[in-house]
Amino acid sequence: MQTGKQDHYSAHEMIVELIDRQPDGWQQTAVAIFDSVAARYLVWDGLGDYVPVTLEWEGWEEATYASSLQFARTALLLYQALDGHPLQRPEFATWAQNMAAACSHGQNFRCVQPDGRMFTTVKDILFLFNIDSWYEQNFNTVKYYLELLCLDPSLAPSDENHMLWSSRAVRSITYPTTGSNLQYEVASGAGREVLKLAAAPLAVLAASEPLPEMETPDQIGPGYHWDAEASLLTVVHTADPVVVHFSPTAVIGNDQGGYWLEPQLEVIGAAGTEQAAIRLALPRAATVNLAVFDLRGRRVRTLLKAAYLAAGNSSLTWYGRDEVGRTVAQGVYVLQLEVENRTKTHNLVLLR
């Protein structure tokens, strides 16, 4: 704009504002602007299979990934906003999908060792055009592609995990490896995020506290909503880190101070001894009951009664005695843990 040359950026952002504010007659104005941009910048041939794409601007008539994905984002946004309106045209969505496919290429494969970054222009991937240009504008490419994926999550890979949208700047994010969980933090610690996941979450925690399930993704929250059909997770939270759990035995933190998704009960002493070493793990501080029963369901010993335990690991030992201190017979017994309306049991073998 400073050079007096026309470009498409202002046109796209004007369409976005029209859709957002929706003044009288915005549909006609937005479509007119979009048709003008398409007529001036849309490219359908001359670039092999990497079409359709759009030119950067009239001062540099090259088809770039950033300009093409911005066009695709606006085309799909406009198509969705015009739902049910006579001006809605199928080609808006078709252009967006085809551009997403055309721009899903572009890592360097010549002269410079590939390092994950994309070319700036489509010409760069076809032949030696400008070896330096592939270092530019990739932040725009990512920005518009993410916006496009958020508008149409089916474009995102179904076998991977991706954050598609966040109301706050993302400070950190760790995607899961085998057997681990997805974790992230955002600016201010509070926000709303949309993620596409490769598997259904078993639970979502914010600042170590489980979030409740929401009936719809548009609720105020805090909470989370899982759309199984689209594989979309919406999270609303007032604190972080947010941790998305995929495994029922997954642990946050280290072995000394971990927190489980649900109360855990296990016998950590060797089976078949005269005593049992027992470990409890709580996701948060709670009042618990723990007792030993025989196989007929009769209470043998109360180990904990309305005991308030801190979050994390606790341990105790049952020495094989009943309520009055008598040694019990050898055999199989049942440990029963009650916490927050949940009951867990664990068998143990006592030998003499």
Domain CATH number, residue 334: 2.60.40.1930
> Within this chain, do residues 21 and 145 fall inside the same structural domain, yes or no?
yes
Same domain, 217 and 290: no
* Same domain, residue pair 138 and 207: no
User: In the prediction, which pLDDT does 251 show?
Assistant: 37
Regarding whether 325 and 193 lie in a shared domain, the answer is no
Q: Among all chains, which residue has been given the structure tokens 């049991």?
A: 345
Residue at a domain's end among 155, 190, 221: 155
Average pLDDT, integer, range 30-45: 93
Q: Is 273 exposed, middle or buried (0-12, 13-18, 19+ CB in 10 A)?
A: middle
Same domain, 240 and 282: no
Is residue 316 in some structural domain? Answer: yes
Question: In whole angstroms, what is the distance from residue 349 CA to residue 100 CA?
Answer: 61
d(CA 315, CA 306): 16
% of the chain residues with pLDDT over 70? 84
Domain assignment present for 3: no
- The pLDDT, as a whole number, for residue 235 is 97
The single-letter code of the amino acid at 220 is I
What is the layout of strands, in order, in the sheet containing 242-245? 170-174, 182-186, 242-245, 203-206, 209-210
In a domain, 2, yes or no: no
Q: What's the pLDDT score for residue 267?
A: 77
Least confident range from 67-71, 134-138, 348-352: namely 134-138
Mean pLDDT over 66-91 rounds to 95
Regarding whether 196 and 217 lie in a shared domain, the answer is yes
Instruction: Please tell me the total count of domains within the chain.
Output: 3
Q: Looking at the structure, do residues 138 and 168 belong to the same domain, yes or no?
A: no
Q: pTM of this prediction?
A: 0.63
What is the C-alpha to C-alpha distance for residues 184 and 243, in angstroms, rounded to an integer? Answer: 7
Which domain-ending residue is among 122, 155, 188? Answer: 155
pLDDT of residue 120: 79
Same domain, 122 and 172: no
141 plus 197 within the same structural domain: no
Q: What is the rounded distance in angstroms from the CA atom of residue 87 to the CA atom of residue 139?
A: 33
What crossing angle do the helices spanning 65-81 and 138-151 adopt, rounded to 10°? Answer: 20
- Residues 304 and 308: their CA atoms lie apart, in Å, by 9
The pLDDT assigned to 282 comes to 82
* Distance (Å, whole) CA 275 – CA 155: 58
Predicted pLDDT at 109? 56
131 found inside a domain: yes
Examine residue 266 and state whether it is found in any structural domain, yes or no: yes
- Give residue 252's pLDDT: 35
Give mean pLDDT, residues 335-352: 81
The answer as to whether 127 is a domain residue is yes
In a domain, 51, yes or no: yes
Decide if pLDDT at 293 tops 70.
yes
- The residues, ordered by sequence, that sit 6+ positions from 227 with a Cβ below 8 Å of its Cβ are 217, 233, 234
Q: 252, 283, 318 — which closes off a domain?
A: 252
Task: Based on the fold, state whether residues 143 and 238 are members of the same structural domain.
Answer: no
CATH of the domain at 216: 2.60.40.1180
Using a pLDDT cut of 90, give the percent of the chain over it. Answer: 39
Look at residue 4 and tell me if it is in a domain: no
pLDDT (tens digit per residue) in 1-22:
445 566 778 899 999 999 999 9
| Alpha carbon distance 306, 252 (integer Å) | 26
pLDDT mean over 148-157: 90
Domain range enclosing 117: 9-155
Is-contact 335 278, C-beta < 8 A?
yes
| 22 plus 126 within the same structural domain | yes
Residue 95 Cα distances to 186, 311, 345, angstroms? 33, 53, 58
Query: Do 298 and 219 share a structural domain?
Result: no
Residues near 160 by beta carbon (within 8 Å), at least 6 away in sequence: 175, 198
